Every structure is written in C-alpha cells, then in structure tokens.
Structure 1
Amino acid sequence: MTTIREATYDLLRSNGMRTVFGNPGSNELLFLKDFPEDFEYVLGLHEGAVVAMADGYAQATGRPTLVNLHAAAGTGNGMGVLTNSVYSHSPLVITAGQQVRDTVGQEVMLANMDAAQLPRPLAKWSAEPLAATDVPRTISQAIHMATLPAPGPVYVSVPYDDWEREADPNTHYLAKRTVSAAAALAPEQLAEIAEAIDAAKNPVLVLGPDVDAERANAHAVALAERLGCPVWIAPSPARCPFPNTHPLFRGVLPANVASINELLSGHDLVLVAGAPVFRYHHHRPGRFLAEGTELIHLSNDPSEVARAPFGRAYLAPVGDGLARLAAAVAPRVVTPGTGSTTAAGQAGASRAQAPAGVDRADRLHPDTVFRTIAEHAPEGVVYVNESTSTADSFWNNAVLEGQGSFYSPASGGLGFGLPAAVGVQLAHPDRRVVATIGDGSANFGITGLWTAAQYGIPVVFVILNNGTYGALRRFTRALDAGETPGLDVPRIDFVHLANGYGVAAEAVDTAEELRAALQKAFAGNVPVLIEARTYFE
C-alpha cells in the first residue's frame, strides 16, 4: 500500500523539492514520520524565521520550496514575513497541519478553522482538500500555482490523519506531470515596443527585481548598452537587476511620485521592466510623469499590469522580452559613460561623487561599514540587506555586479534579512553571503542564528547597531511628528545573543577593528556575527 505521505514525498522528489524548512507541532508529526533519507529538514526556531529562510532559498535557487508550519498559530507567526514573499514573487509551497479530519468542525484544540481563508489575501492560492485521497493532487496544484507566472506563495492545510491513508491508484501520474508557461511577446508587440524605443530621442530604462529573478541581468545590460541609455532601479528594490558599477547605472529611484517625475524628466520614453509602476511609499504627490513622456511597462505579473495607474503595458516574460528587444532595437552611438544628457541623470551618474560619512571616536559611519565590507568581500559575494535607514550608504558603497548578488525585503515587514541570508547561503554553497542587518530588524529574526550555527551555514552577519529605529526617526521628520515613543532600542548586546545561539561574535567600533574582523570571518567557513557600532544622523 502506498500512503498519502509516501505519494506526496514522491511528488516533492520529482519536482526537486528535497529541502524542507519548518517548525513542527503535533499536527505535523505524521507528515514527518519516516522522513526520507534523501531529504533535508532545516529547522527554524520561529515560523517567521522559517518562512524567511525558505524565501531566501527559493529566490536564490529559483525553484519551489516547501515550508511546513504548525496549524493556525504557526501560520500566523509566519505571515508577517509572508508579505515580503508576495512582492518578491517567491514560489513558496506552505503546508500547515490540520487537526484530525473528523474533528475539525468541533473546533477542538489546534483545529485551523476556515484554513484556506487564513493566509488570504497574501497567498496566491490556498486550499484544504475535501478528501484524504485528494491531498497529493492538491499539493501538485500548489506547486504549479506557485511557479506559474507570476510566481508566489501558496498554502495547503492538511488534516494530519490523512497522511496515513491509502493513496488513490492514479496518484502516481502526478509525479510525472510537468507544467510550462509558454507565453511571450508576439512579433507585432515586440515590433511596437522596438519602434517606440527607436523613435524616442532620450529613452531611459527602469528595472525591477523580476529581471534578476528571471536571470536576465545580462540581457538588461545588452539593451542598455545598445541604446546607450541610463538605467535606474525601481523604488525599494528587493533584488539588483543591473550592475551598480556600470557607467550607465544612475541609482535607485525614490519611492514617491514627485521625485520620480523630476528624475525622469527630459526623457521622452521610460521602459519599465520587471517592476510595478510604481511602488510608492513616501507621500509626495504630483504629476506621474512630465508632459510628453511615454511609459511602456513589461511585466509577467497580471496584477502589476492591471493595477498600474498609467503607461502602456505588456504581459510577458521579462527576460525573454529584454533579450529580444536588445536584438531588435537600432543601436545608437553615445559617448561612453554619459548615456543621458538630462541634469537628473548626470546628478545620479557617479557613486564616487557622494561624500563619505565621517566616523566618530567610538562609532562608525554606515559608509565605512559598507565600504570596508566591499573592500574585503570575496569574489561573487551575495548581500542580504535589511538595514533600512542606511540604504543610501549601502548603494553608494556596496559592489553589486553579478546575477543574484542582492536580496532585500520586498515589503515593509521586518524579520526577513537575517534568516533569509541563511536560506540564500544554503542555496549558494559556492558563494559567500554577507547579511547587513539593522539592530531593530535583527531582533525580528534573531533565531535564524541558531539555524546557522546548528547546520554550519557560514553567513557573515554584520549588525549595524545605532540603538534606534533609524527609518522611523526619518519618518518623524518627514511627517513633522516630533518625538514619539518606541523609537529607541538601546543596550542590546548582539555579541552575547549570538554566543548564546552558538555563533562566534565580536563588536567593533573602528574601521581597523572591522577590517580585522571581516578578514578573519572570510578566512573561515563558519557563521560569524560582527556587531558594528554605528550612529544615526
């Protein structure tokens, strides 16, 4: 007899999903019974950290990743981080244990009432099978839903007694299924976009995280160089779709209407690829774009193209679209290193123009931290950044050149960065991951240190400790809110916290100490935490 559990593991195996991230409870134990030797279970001590680790792993591998949570409580604990998974298009397949099927309606202890409704509207799709024999098919549907355009997290609640039941004889067909998305720009659509670009006097590219997710950075570079046009990254980036050391790179667009209008003024055509139009954050209203500026939007997400308030949109794979456009548009002769003649473009053209911050006697400026990391990081380094108040310092000093070189929260929920770095490092054993995390953010995912220590995952965690929620302090200025409570988090000793979880750690407050700590960390192959004592301006 083949059980539902055995059939499900065969299904997961056939889809390359042999790494399971989880934090189990009693409802999940029968799923984990006789855990296959060819699978790996990665334990996290809090469901938020579990989802973040799986998210980082899924983004870095580009493959669907299984998350196993405990009933409604575990699902709820993970939903704060799930907001990031939605906007990063992470193909997470989240399963949660349900009580014994016959008792669910009685609302016994640990019953997940209206389970399919719980993760909505965050989950792309959610379900609870109506019969035990339908569990494998439902999970198969979840896997394909998670990976079809646009990718995203899905959720399946399974009554725990289902795992021991006998599978339907036809279940074996599921493991042999493949589902492929074949949509692409039609020839006439490609011609329309290429014609618009060729007719533009001063085009500009705005690139988003799906360029990196579709492994299309090289196509973006080819298109930009063929046009000789400037390249901006869309606001609040979760990934880096273009080398930030490239002469055509201009920076990251600010997340407000008026500033984007100002920076893109002078361009008659804006091509946005792999990003929403636009994810604003700070309220600075105004006209979306200057008079005479046209916007073309290329995205694989139906929701993104439908909800945008302006522009002409095309729903198609971003990577394929960029590659074909790079071959279709007419090449332009542009003076190397200029790209754009607009004042705004030239203002953001050189990272070297940004003045470096000055260290204090016992505190580092964030510029020093990111610059020193860039100087000592090995080739192919991957950054996972969740230090929201130091974004300018990061982009002015970090070197982001290769595919998959940067990951950051795609939404406003904290707790992604530290554990996500663990997942990214698991996905990239041949590269070194540096997690640059603010002291406020670190506390939301601190239990990720335990997983790094227990599994020997060699992330270099750099905590920028300035004793306050810096991003919120900036907002108090912008909103003229004055001094509000709950903004400071002083006297947290991350060295002792790390040691308690089994991670070697040290604190530094000078560039020389940071340099020595980084050299030692990169020379080893174990997780290390460096607490860099910084200050907030």
Structure 2
Amino acid sequence: MLSKYTASTAFLEALQEAGVSYIFANLGSDHPAMIESLAEARKENIKLPEVIICPHEMVALSAANGYAQITGKPQAVVVHVECGTQNLGGAIHNAAKGRVPVLIFAGSSPYTQEGELTGSRNEFIHWIQDVADQRGIIRGYTKYDNEIRSGKNVKQLVHRALQFAQSEPKGPVYLMGPREVMEEETKPVSINTDLWEPIAPMALPPQGIHDILNDLIKAEKPLIITSYLGRNSEAVKELVQFSETFSIPVIESVPNYMNFPSNHPMHCGYQWNSPEQNEMLRNADFVLVLDSDVPWIPLVNKPSDNCIVYYIDTDPLKQQMPLWYIPSKRFFRADAHIALQQLNESLKHKVLDERAISMRHDIISKIHHQLRTEWNENEQYREDIISPEYLTACVREIVDENTIIMNEGISNYETIYKHIQANRPGSIVGSGGGSLGWNGGAAIGAKLASKDQTVISLTGDGSYLFSLPSTVHWMARKYDSPFLTIIYNNRGWKSPKLSTLGVHPNGIANQTNQFWVDMDPHADLAKIAEAAGGAFAQTVKKPSELKGTLKNAIDAVKEGRAAVLDVYLPAINSAKEEQSSIQAVQLSST
C-alpha cells in the first residue's frame, strides 16, 4: 500500500487491473500527483503499467494505436491539458476511423487559485490553459468522454471508459481530471473486473443466415469484398473456409489488415483509388461485403444495378460518416467471425451444385494466376530507376514468418499490398484512417507488443515527415524497440497531384506542371533518425545497391539497432512519373 493514496493512485491501479501494459505519456503541470504515485510505486516495487516517455503526443497515441492493433488490448495515453489534447492531432482521427481501442487521459487546469485545495493554481500557465470545453476538442472522435470529479469513483470511470473502448465498434475514449481532484486523498476501492467486460459481439439473425445462403446458392458470379476483417485472425480462417466451399473470389478493398491469403487461388486482388471499373465487381450477381468502409468508389467502380448486395459489418450505419450509402438488400450489424461461423455451420445442411462450384474454381484460379503474372512482370529489375514494385519485391525477400509490415505508403499503398503478397493473419497492418504520420509511432507500439518479431515500416517521404521521426527514433532507442523504416521517396507529395489530375485532367495545373508538391531542396531523411536515435541510416539511389543495403539494414535491426533506408524512386516530376500520371488521368476520363 502506498503511503498516500490519491485519485491518481486509483487511476493507475485501475489501468493495471484492466491489463494495460503501457502508459504512453507526455506529462505536464497537471500531473504531479500521478508522478508521485508512480515514483512511490517504483520505490516500493508495486506493479503498475510501464511509462513510455513520448516527446510528442501524436507519436504517443500512434504507439498505443499500433500496440492495440497487434494485440487487441487497449493501452493508455496521458497528455497535458488541452494543449496536449490538441497535439494528439491526426492520431485521434486514425484511432477513431480505424476503430482502435485506447484510453486517453488529460489533466486540466486547477479550478482553485488561493490554495483552497492541494494542487491549487501556482503557475501562470494555469490561467492560460483554462478553456471552456476541453473535452469538446476531440469529442467528435471518441466513443465516450467524461471528467473525473471525485477520487471516490475513479476506478469505476476508468473501467466504464475501457468497456466503451473495447465494445464494437471499438474506438478511443477520453477522461480528464483537474489537478485538485487527481491530488485528492481517498480510500482504495476493490473492483471485480469480470463485471466490466466489453459488450458481447453480435451474431446474424436466423432469417438473415437463410436469406444470405439462399441468394448465394442461386448466384453464378458471387464475390466477397472486405477491408478489415483480418483484425481477428480467427475470422480469416472462417472466410477461407467459406470462400472455398463456394469457390467465391475475394477482393480486398483499401485493406488495413491481411484479410485473405494473397497466395490463395480465390484471392483476386486489391483496390484502392484506381480510377477504373473492376470487371469482377461489374459482372458480379451477388456481393457479400464483410467489414469494409469503402468496398468500392461508386463514381468509377461499382456493381451492376441488378446485383444483390449484403452488408455485414461491425458498424453498418457508419455513424461517423455523415455521407455514406451503399444500397444493399440487407444490412447486418454483426461480428464477422461469428457471422462466418454461422454461415459455415449452416452450409453443412445445404445441398450445393458441386459441378458449378468446381467450374467456378477453375475460372477464378486462372484470374488469380493471371493477376500474379502481371504483378511479377512489373517487378522486373531496371538499371536506371528503382520502381516501387521492384522495391516492394525486394522487401518481400527479407520478410519471413516472424515479420510484421506497417503500411503507410499512401500513393504506393496498393502497390505495397500487391507485391508484399501477405499470407499470414497479422502480418501487415495499416492505420485504417486518413491522417498521415501513423507509421513511426505505430511501429514502436507493434514492436513493444511483439518483441520477438521483426517490424518493418513502409512509408512515403511525406508520411515519414508527418510521423515526427526525431521523436520516434529517440523513443525506439530509449525503449529498445528497433524496427526498419523504408521510405518510398519520390521527393514530394504525389497524392495531391493525382487528386488534382483526377478532377482536372486537362487543367492549368497539368499544363503548367504547377502542383506545389515538390519537396525541393530534398532533406536527408535517414540522417534525422541517425541523429535522434542512433539509427542505421542509408540513402539508396542506385538499383544495384538496393538488395545489399536492405540486408545490412535488416541485420542491424535484428542486432538491436533501428534502421532507416531512404530509397529514391522516380521523382514526382520525372518522365516516368509524368507518364504514370497521364495514364491515370486517361483511365479516369474513360
């Protein structure tokens, strides 16, 4: 027992009771009581979550995000009042849109100023940081927010917040507490954590199972589309079984997990922002969408009007997306793993047309192999440039069964999925959101979650800079969490250029080549990590140097040192890049 038991002590104990391993913290003037409790706990050898010092809050939340994506277990992020809350930046968007459970705690300015209570205002900043609605800063991105007003029920609020965070659809939660409250002395409270479990996942109704299977059995060209089913590895096994039973092809649309093995003959590719119609989707007469926010982009790519669509999702209403609609015969709010278990079990009692299924298997397998042949042709070595396809193929050669890929390639997002060809659940992860900079902190979180695995972060040069690499690599060294970063460096922001060309293919920006995306003069990106965290740092410009440098880099990581390879792809204004942009515009116009 600590000598002084405060609301902060209760807060930390509640995190420990809930199974939180790490507190990713950027502490401030609002946290003296918490610091005291942590210090005394260390002195007395009392077990509490380990504090990870994070010089920037964006990295702190990204790290908690990455940890939870790998383990499914929420971690804690502690930030400084409303300033630290705002500094969470795009990371709170990523946690919300990626449906990642995490608990964020921020102090708030003291509410007394004449010494009425312990913790009363004694620094000028306490007036400056007193704002009208601190919780409102991120309310649009959290599932639950509340203020701790008494030390007597801190544990109940923590466990309630975590219950929200871990119940589907999962997501971030936010608690705040004034300094006086967190300093308040109180009595210990015992909590039975078995009574605070997340809400049990939902299943399909019996009639829904009947309807889906009846329509599927009649279909000649069924299709499955998914994006994040693979966050549960057991769901992947059920999806493989379901696909094999009917010989149903699977497309991964904007995936942020490995949802279906790339080498499986029913895997028929990936789609992202490609401005063309997917023929398999056009011809489908039945589509089952499983856990996907954007199964297709209706402007350029969608099923026929006669196609029957069923939607099974943890959040089929997409409650955080004001404009969203994919017309479907039925929508089901259900856990994909449970739903597929139900469907697979029901199939045991159905009579299927095995001849038609076998014929479909042959057709789909040929499409699968044709796609891989095309992808392999794009991986060919060239003397003059390093293409993103060739780079990814080289990365694939150093990946083993003990590797986790963190993908924030953005303009090369689809390329990375195609050419990494992930086959193992949990082997590749994306943010699930749209705010750049997730990659660095998430890689640290993934490494802390899986210390015996190799973590490789694939990122564009823009998203690398957004990740705050100086903070990331200082943390990687301090907390012994080395990983390999590979920068797909085209010396600019390619995505805004492609977005402009997609809307104005023959516009003035294209005619004058003015897009304001060129990062000239070019920074030595790898050296940032070397200076901040002692990382192995190398810039690769010649194709002949790539494989050898990759080997040296991965060897450094396995020896305990972070590594960054800054790989020069064709610049966004190079001839090859210009041709690629023109082709994209032509496809879009078509």
Distance 1:4 1:175 in 2: 18
| SS of equivalent to 2:191 | helix
| SS of equivalent to 2:458 | strand
| C-alpha contact 1:11 1:140 (8 A) present in aligned 2 | yes
| C-alpha contact 2:271 2:414 (8 A) present in aligned 1 | no
Match of 1:22 in 2: 25
Match of 1:8 in 2: 11
Q: Which moved more, 1:513-522 or 1:318-327?
A: 513-522
AA matched with 1:148: S
Q: Please report how far the alpha carbon of residue 404 of structure 1 lies from its aligned counterpart in structure 2 after TM superposition.
A: 0.9
Match of 1:69 among 76, 79, 101: 79
Match of 1:318 in 2: 336
Q: Please report how far the alpha carbon of residue 530 of structure 1 lies from its aligned counterpart in structure 2 after TM superposition.
A: 1.2
Q: Please report how far the alpha carbon of residue 358 of structure 1 lies from its aligned counterpart in structure 2 after TM superposition.
A: 6.1
Note the aligned Cα RMSD (angstroms): 2.8
Distance 1:362 1:149 in 2: 50
CA displacement 1:92-151 (0-9 Å, x = unmatched):
111111112436999713224312211021112211134343433222211110001110
| C-alpha contact 1:230 1:340 (8 A) present in aligned 2 | no
| SS of equivalent to 1:177 | helix
C-alpha spacing 1:147/1:464, structure 2 compared with 1 (3 Å): same
Work out whether 1:465 is the aligned partner of 2:486. no
Match of 2:292 in 1: 275
| SS of equivalent to 1:259 | coil
| C-alpha contact 2:230 2:425 (8 A) present in aligned 1 | no
Match of 1:478 in 2: 502
Distance 1:146 1:124 in 2: 7
AA matched with 1:290: S
TM-score, normalised with respect to structure 2: 0.83
AA matched with 2:489: N
Q: Please report how far the alpha carbon of residue 468 of structure 1 lies from its aligned counterpart in structure 2 after TM superposition.
A: 1.1
Match of 2:405 among 357, 363, 383: 383
CA displacement 1:203-236 (0-9 Å, x = unmatched):
11111213424641111111111111100112x2
Q: 1:199-348 alignment to 2 at 5 Å?
A: 199-213=218-232, 215-234=234-253, 236-255=254-273, 259=277, 262-276=279-293, 278=295, 280=297, 284=299, 288-301=302-315, 303-304=317-318, 308-311=325-328, 312-329=330-347, 330=350, 332-333=354-355, 339=361, 341=363, 346=367
CA displacement 1:494-521 (0-9 Å, x = unmatched):
2321111121211222344222222223
CA displacement 1:154-203 (0-9 Å, x = unmatched):
1111112222213356x323655332433322333323322222232221
Match of 1:497 in 2: 528
Distance 2:275 2:484 in 1: 37
| SS of equivalent to 1:34 | helix
Distance 1:233 1:135 in 2: 43
Distance 1:244 1:276 in 2: 21
Q: Which moved more, 1:150-159 or 1:74-83?
A: 74-83
Q: 1:38-57 alignment to 2 at 5 Å?
A: 38=47, 39-57=49-67
AA matched with 2:91: V
Q: Which moved more, 1:321-330 or 1:524-533?
A: 321-330
Match of 1:129 in 2: 148
Distance 2:194 2:313 in 1: 30
| C-alpha contact 1:224 1:230 (8 A) present in aligned 2 | yes
C-alpha spacing 1:154/1:289, structure 2 compared with 1 (3 Å): same
| C-alpha contact 2:226 2:255 (8 A) present in aligned 1 | no
Q: Which moved more, 1:354-363 or 1:372-381?
A: 354-363
Q: Which moved more, 1:288-297 or 1:50-59?
A: 288-297
Q: Please report how far the alpha carbon of residue 380 of structure 1 lies from its aligned counterpart in structure 2 after TM superposition.
A: 3.0
| C-alpha contact 1:49 1:448 (8 A) present in aligned 2 | yes
Which structure: larger Rg?
2
Distance 1:229 1:292 in 2: 18
Q: Please report how far the alpha carbon of residue 21 of structure 1 lies from its aligned counterpart in structure 2 after TM superposition.
A: 1.1
Distance 1:382 1:154 in 2: 27
Work out whether 1:516 is the aligned partner of 2:545. no
Q: Which moved more, 1:483-492 or 1:64-73?
A: 483-492
| C-alpha contact 1:362 1:509 (8 A) present in aligned 2 | no
**% of aligned pairs identical?**
23
| C-alpha contact 2:103 2:172 (8 A) present in aligned 1 | yes
Match of 2:374 among 343, 353, 356: 353
AA matched with 1:532: V
| SS of equivalent to 1:443 | helix
Distance 1:402 1:342 in 2: 21
Distance 2:110 2:75 in 1: 26
Structure 1's unaligned 5+ residue stretches are none
| SS of equivalent to 1:67 | strand
Q: Please report how far the alpha carbon of residue 274 of structure 1 lies from its aligned counterpart in structure 2 after TM superposition.
A: 1.2
Distance 2:25 2:235 in 1: 31
Match of 1:370 among 379, 392, 412: 392
TM-score, normalised with respect to structure 1: 0.91
Match of 1:414 among 423, 429, 436: 436
Q: Which moved more, 1:424-433 or 1:507-516?
A: 507-516
Distance 1:102 1:33 in 2: 21
AA matched with 1:187: P
| C-alpha contact 1:258 1:285 (8 A) present in aligned 2 | yes
Q: Please report how far the alpha carbon of residue 347 of structure 1 lies from its aligned counterpart in structure 2 after TM superposition.
A: 8.0
Match of 1:449 among 465, 473, 477: 473
| C-alpha contact 2:9 2:34 (8 A) present in aligned 1 | no
Q: Please report how far the alpha carbon of residue 294 of structure 1 lies from its aligned counterpart in structure 2 after TM superposition.
A: 0.7
CA displacement 1:209-268 (0-9 Å, x = unmatched):
13424641111111111111100112x2222211122111111234489736x5412211
| SS of equivalent to 1:216 | helix
Match of 1:533 in 2: 568
Match of 1:116 in 2: 135
| SS of equivalent to 1:198 | helix
Match of 2:452 in 1: 430
User: How many equivalent pairs are there?
Assistant: 530
Distance 2:81 2:379 in 1: 48
| SS of equivalent to 2:10 | helix
| C-alpha contact 1:377 1:522 (8 A) present in aligned 2 | no
AA matched with 1:208: S
Distance 2:547 2:268 in 1: 29
Match of 1:84 among 91, 94, 103: 94
